Chains A and B, each alone.
Chain A
Amino acid sequence: MTRTLLWLIGGVLLGGVIHIIAILTLPLLAEETTWSRVSAFEAENRMLVLDRVAQGVPNPLRLDPELSYGLCEIDLSNGPAYLNGVLPDAFWSVAVYDRNGVVIYSTTNRDGIGQTVDMGIFNPAQTRLLAQQQIDIAEGLLIVESATNELFVLVRLSPPHEAMRARFEQELSEITCGPRT
């Protein structure tokens, strides 16, 4: 009896090991990831306004029907990426995601940046050049450092009323995104 119990305890311990391995390897094994879903939009270096969520339509990215979303994919191996433009006077926020769908940086317009988005995204090497003043940037640029090159930026904009949505989405699509030309 004791021996059977020991075997079972051994089984539970092995189960713990399997559990830890499963949790740690899952992000590496997944085939359909945030990145694959986002890449399907082909929004490289441009601000793409996503379709609004409607009743009865699948919503794999779990967007909020009340908000407008602008998506832009960037690759820092082509140089630092900049996000620039003016957004309407309503709640908006910016999030930078890495390939795993982890939010590496996020801010809202309530952090005192008003209506203007002016953001530069740099990888570690570019940040070093920035510190050595080898890259020229405008004063007041919001600097975001990223450990990886492949990223995407999501701007969430909240039109307070339905009637404003078209105008807000127009302004959202005019945001520039990508390397400086």
Chain B
Amino acid sequence: MRFILRLLAAIATALTVGFGLSYYALTDGRLFGAISLGPWTAWPDVGSPTPNPYTRGHLTREAALQLGRSEGLQFVAGADSDGAMLDLGCSYQLTGRVPVSTFWTLSAIDAAWVNLAAPGTEAALRSSEIVRETDGAFQIHVGTLLRPGNWLELAGEGEFQLVLTLYDTTALSTFAASNVNMPSITLEQCS
């Protein structure tokens, strides 16, 4: 009797650890193939011709057209800098700079990767369209509430994610590993 209980416990542990770890590695993946910089997460190996097994699994799960290594890198944030999930009922501010790149775009998506920009506005913000401080840093407001300055106007409700795509960037390339400055995401107010 005791043998069967132990066997069952061992099998339960094996299944939980095996599949739980696999699921984590391919979704959040922070200890495996993904890198997180503040609230932003990226899979730096995703555009490589020989991705590691975790990144390969991630590639398969996403089944998307990923950026090649020399084309750029995509960062996704689902939470603000304090770790709270991004919600369309609130308004957020992105402050800071991005790593060196030819240009970058910022858009907001839901869990199914549907673009959440308000109808009639541009679906994404582009680096050439925004106003910056004299030192090159920027402030971008994101949310459904009316904001001055750079504003990515969104519509809808529920949780969302921000996608920051850097094209032709040196970020996380082996040559400039130290030069990774990502903007912070701070909560402004909730309606």
Within 8 A of B (CB), among A67-96: 67, 69, 91, 93, 95
User: Which one, B60-68, B89-97, B131-139, B179-187, is touching chain A?
Assistant: B60-68
| Residues of chain A contacted by B19 (CB below 8 angstroms) | 18-19, 22
| Residues of chain B contacted by A58 (CB below 8 angstroms) | 112-114
Scan B14-31; emit 1 where CB is below 8 A from any A CB, else 0: 111111011001100000
**Nearest Cβ in chain B — how far from A146, in angstroms?**
10
Contact of A53 among B16, B48, B115, B165 (CB under 8 A): B115
Within 8 A of B (CB), among A38-75: 38, 53-67, 69
Contact of A60 among B11, B63, B126 (CB under 8 A): B63
Take A16-B18, A65-B124, A93-B168 as given contacts and tell me if A60 and B67 are in contact as well, using a CB distance cutoff of 8 Å: no
Scan B87-119; emit 1 where CB is below 8 A from any A CB, else 0: 000000000000000110101010011111111
Contact of A11 among B14, B25, B51, B117 (CB under 8 A): B14
Minimal Cβ-Cβ distance residue in B for A27: B60
A-B contact sample (13 more), CB < 8 A, given A4-B9, A26-B26, A30-B61: A14-B13, A21-B18, A30-B60, A58-B114, A62-B64, A62-B66, A65-B105, A93-B168, A95-B47, A101-B64, A105-B68, A106-B47, A158-B167
Structural contact, A18 and B17, CB atoms closer than 8 A: yes
Structural contact, B49 and A19, CB atoms closer than 8 A: no
Inter-chain residue pair count (beta carbon < 8 A): 197
| Residues of chain A contacted by B17 (CB below 8 angstroms) | 11-12, 15-16, 18-19
| Interface size in chain B (residues, C-beta < 8 A) | 62
**Chain B interface residues (CB < 8 Å from chain A):** 6-7, 9-19, 21-22, 25-26, 47-51, 53-54, 56-57, 59-72, 102-103, 105, 107, 109, 112-119, 122-124, 126, 128, 155, 165, 167-168
